[in-house]
Amino acid sequence: MELIHIIKNGEYVKMVMARMHGDVPELKVGDDYYSPLGNSAIIARLGLGKLTPQMIIQRPEIWVRMGKNEGDIEALTNDEYAKRLKAKNEDKEIQLCKVCPGIDKLRASIADEDRYLNQLNNMMDDENNDGARPPKPIKIHSDELMKQYPAAASYIKAENWSHASHYAKSAAGEKAMKSIEKGEDHIRVIKDMEAEWSAHCSEHIWD
């Protein structure tokens, strides 16, 4: 059994555990039948319905092989999907650095502040450390970089909102992130994000 990722028209659909026949995945349904991951229109046209393994072997035209198939369906191995996702994230980060200059520096600064705070707390909890071995000081504070790189600061704010526990606030943050990624004016985007959340709060104040 292997983990297979299904993509349709460029959009992620689902992941499934599939038994493999060479490079052809089969999806188990129940105990006795297998449904191929191919285009459902082909299956319907052939009038096959549910398929036994033997029927699948006899009708290879409905198999989904690794790569793109009829109906723009792709079946990717876990390794191949991981490679694509890595490349996509790298491309996204390159584009993000163009529309949000300094975001790499800002993220590094925030990580450095988190590191300092964690090490400081550990030092305070360590009875054998009387302060003679304090953590390394923060190289540059994020507040300074936020002033220097306002677009990056706006994106970080939207990103933080996207992790909110409330669905509406999280959705507003995700929407703002996508808008900034497209190169829209970050000041207006953040105002819209905050207004959207404020409107939701006002609408549900008595819930």
Most confident of 1-5, 40-44, 60-64, 154-158: 154-158
Please report whether residue 92 resides in a domain: no
Residues 136 and 177 reside in one and the same domain: yes
Band of residue 189 on the pLDDT scale cut at 50, 70, 90: very high
Flag whether 163 is in a domain: yes
Are 66 and 128 in a shared domain?
Answer: no
Comparing CA positions, the residue from 143, 152, 154, 147 lying closest to residue 189 is 154
User: Is 93 inside any structural domain?
Assistant: no
Closest by Cα among 9, 174, 181, 157 to 98: 181
* 199 and 114 within one domain: yes
Q: Which domain holds residue 111?
A: 100-203
Q: Which two tokens stand for residue 102?
A: 């300094």
Instruction: Give the end of a domain, one of 31, 58, 84.
Output: 84
Is residue 107 domain-shared with residue 169, that is, in the same domain?
yes
What is the tens place of the pLDDT at every residue in 8-58? 777 787 776 766 655 555 554 433 334 444 445 555 555 555 555 455 555
Whether residue 36 contacts residue 30, with contact meaning beta carbons closer than 8 Å, is answered with: no
Question: 112 and 79: one domain?
Answer: no
What's the structural domain count of the chain?
Answer: 2
Is residue 65 domain-shared with residue 7, that is, in the same domain? yes
- Is pLDDT larger for residue 176 or for residue 14? 176
Q: Write down the pLDDT at residue 206.
A: 86
pLDDT in tens, 52-73: 545 555 554 444 444 555 456 6
